[in-house]
Chain A
Amino acid sequence: MNELFELFTYSFFRNALLASLFTSIIAGIVGSYIVAKRSVFISGGITHASFGGMGIAYYMGWPPFFGAAIFALLSALGIEWSSTKAGIREDSSIAILWSLGMAIGILFVFITPGYTPNLMGFLFGDVLTVQVLDLIWLFSIATLSIVLVLIFYPVILSVAFDSQFAKVSGLPVQAIKYVIAVFVAISIVLSIKVMGIILVLSLFTIPASAANLFVKDLKKVMFGSVIISVLGSISGLLMAYFFDLPSGATIIFTLTAIYLILRIIKWIK
């Protein structure tokens, strides 16, 4: 037990804990929207496409997350645009952007001279190296997502549930969809720091799916999935520290365990 308290005296651990907390809030809220709207695959596309931006940023010597953010935004808007305006089938355009982004990333990492130290961190996440600047970003977006949901919940719900009807009742649906796409992209990129490109998708899906087992009301799903996400990430983080394992993987394991337990409880009831 002492060892646990001692942990909090380390700033790197406090940072990691805060980062997990903020990421869980973001992933819980945004993930509930994604799951409800059945756009998990879109989020996967955005996540993987962002690797392209990361690779280019690496090569140019820019901050890698800046590159990732640009690519994530472009792909989020690109998917939204190509399916509504250009008439390309949505799943096809997602698949193209998904693999194109990865290809660009691999190419630029390959031609970058020397060793690429943080590559594993980008792919699988490394919450123990979180900087104060990352925390500020995560805190801002977590706060913003809470505020946006509190203010615009009826609008978000209408557009997500039946966008055609929302359009008929006079909402600027296309503009709202673009804004949400941008917000989803930013949320995903920031969460990559903690979870890594490959694992981040689960953080956005498992808690929402678990909450959705018991509640069928989007705002309750959001609330429940934030709680599940916080519990899962913090216990995953402790597990990673004590057993010296990669945190992204342990977080996914604890979240999956929570999901299975809830599933069994639901099944027994």
Chain B
Amino acid sequence: MKPLIRLKNISAAYDDTTVLKNVDLTVNANDFIGIIGPNGGGKTTLLKLILDLHTPLSGQIEKSQDLRIGYLPQVNTIDKQFPITIKDVILSGRSSTKWWHKATKAQLKRVDELLEFIGFETRHNLPIGELSGGQMQRVFLCRALISEPNLLILDEPNTYVDKTFEANLYHLLEDLNKQMAILLVSHDVGTISSMVKTIACVNGGLHYHNSNKITNEVLKSYNCPIELVSHGKVPHRVLKDHDHE
């Protein structure tokens, strides 16, 4: 089967600073890839390349014809005071082939289903300003899902989510993973390792680890100076600087 997206030998830079160097990444249907890495290591840039928000310096990005991306950005990039209702936020996730299209009945029904899914049944017209960070994140997850994507991209989805919903979120993602590939970026390695099938560390380059077991040795071998926060059954803590080449 053809991969959904394939990055070949990609390098990327901002002005004169190279952020990513010779990165290869392949996402197949039903993958669940966790991307970890230090701040400034290029996680966000990698996402921007996949989302067409940044042009690579060199290399190729191949996308499958029927690739549909659902994207959950970091919630702190959103203006919470903006006058918009939950319903309109979710509807803004419809893929826009026709600019003027009004929501169809099917789409409105899908909004209802999604709201039920996150426990917001009758709150269509609630302005987002009245939501907590975690609630808002759930609404944005619905926005990412309304276009029925086959690749779901999540940028730090556990930043604001409260502990009770966090467990829910993971079950949810497990479920969603049956229908779509998931690419999840997180700095919280402990959390990530319990959910994902594959781990990739982005730190200038990209290193795969074909399992979700992360150990100090694994991280060391990838030059990945990550702090493993204790979580579940992975009580590791690594605080070592990586050696630059």
Chain A interfacial positions (CB closer than 8 Å to B): 36, 38, 151-152, 154-155, 157-158, 160-162, 164-171, 212, 215-218, 220-221
Q: List 15 A-B contacts (CB under 8 A).
A: A36-B82, A151-B100, A152-B100, A154-B100, A157-B88, A158-B96, A161-B79, A161-B89, A162-B73, A166-B92, A166-B96, A168-B52, A216-B85, A217-B125, A218-B88
| In the complex, chain B residues whose CB is within 8 Å of the CB of A154 | 91-92, 99-103
Main SS at interface, chain A: helix
Partner of B96, one of A38, A155, A217, A220: A155
| In the complex, chain A residues whose CB is within 8 Å of the CB of B52 | 167-168
Given contacts A155-B96, A216-B129, contact A168 B84 (CB under 8 A): no
Contact with A along B103-133 (1 / 0, CB 8 A): 1000000000000000000000101011000
Other than A164-B77, A165-B143, give 7 A-B pairs with Cβ distance below 8 A: A36-B83, A38-B79, A158-B96, A161-B92, A168-B51, A168-B71, A218-B82
| In the complex, chain B residues whose CB is within 8 Å of the CB of A160 | 82
- Contact, CB under 8 Å: B84 / A157: yes
A209 to B77 CA separation, bound complex (whole angstroms): 23
Given contacts A164-B73, A216-B127, contact A169 B83 (CB under 8 A): no
Asked if B53 CB lies within 8 Å of chain A CBs, one says yes
A220 to B45 CA separation, bound complex (whole angstroms): 37
* Most interface-central of A158, A160, A169, A217 (chain B CB within 10 A): A169
- Contact, CB under 8 Å: A165 / B73: yes
Closest 9 CB pairs of A and B: A216-B127, A158-B92, A216-B83, A155-B99, A218-B83, A168-B51, A151-B100, A221-B83, A168-B71
- Contact, CB under 8 Å: A157 / B96: no
| In the complex, chain B residues whose CB is within 8 Å of the CB of A168 | 51-53, 69, 71
Asked if B94 CB lies within 8 Å of chain A CBs, one says yes
In the complex, residue of chain A having the shortest beta-carbon distance to the beta carbon of B69: A168
A51 to B73 CA separation, bound complex (whole angstroms): 41
| In the complex, chain A residues whose CB is within 8 Å of the CB of B78 | 161-162
A169 to B125 CA separation, bound complex (whole angstroms): 23
| In the complex, chain B residues whose CB is within 8 Å of the CB of A215 | 83
Asked if B93 CB lies within 8 Å of chain A CBs, one says yes
| In the complex, chain B residues whose CB is within 8 Å of the CB of A155 | 96, 99-100
A81 to B202 CA separation, bound complex (whole angstroms): 32
A168 to B67 CA separation, bound complex (whole angstroms): 12
Asked if B135 CB lies within 8 Å of chain A CBs, one says no
Tell me the minimal C-beta distance from A95 to chain B in angstroms. Answer: 22
- Contact, CB under 8 Å: A170 / B96: yes
| In the complex, chain A residues whose CB is within 8 Å of the CB of B102 | 154
Contact with A along B37-48 (1 / 0, CB 8 A): 000000000000
